[in-house]
Amino acid sequence: MSSTTDKLKGLANEAIGNVKQGVGKATGNDSLVAEGKAQELKGEAQRTVGEVKDGVKSAADALTGRK
């Protein structure tokens, strides 16, 4: 998966997780709040993977003289 794909999927999971948490809190559904928090954390991890991939690519490009 490309770094951009990782970051986009991460952002989507974070957003969906936040919505689930909001709905869960509004309806008193603790299970949905927990599910939303888990999905948000998954999204944060995915986004971080994408950012790390970008950093590794940038470092490799700098070492090899690529732009």
12-56: pLDDT as tens digits: 999 999 999 999 999 999 999 999 999 999 999 999 999 999 989
**Confidence category of residue 65, pLDDT binned at 50, 70, 90:** confident
CA-based nearest residue to 18, from 45, 37, 43, 46? 37
For 47, the domain range is 3-64
CA 7, CA 44: separation in Å to the nearest integer? 9
pLDDT of amino acid 61: 81
In the chain the first and final C-alpha atoms are separated, in Å, by 21
The Cα 52–Cα 43 span in angstroms is 14
At residue 66, the pLDDT reads: 76
Number of domains in the chain: 1
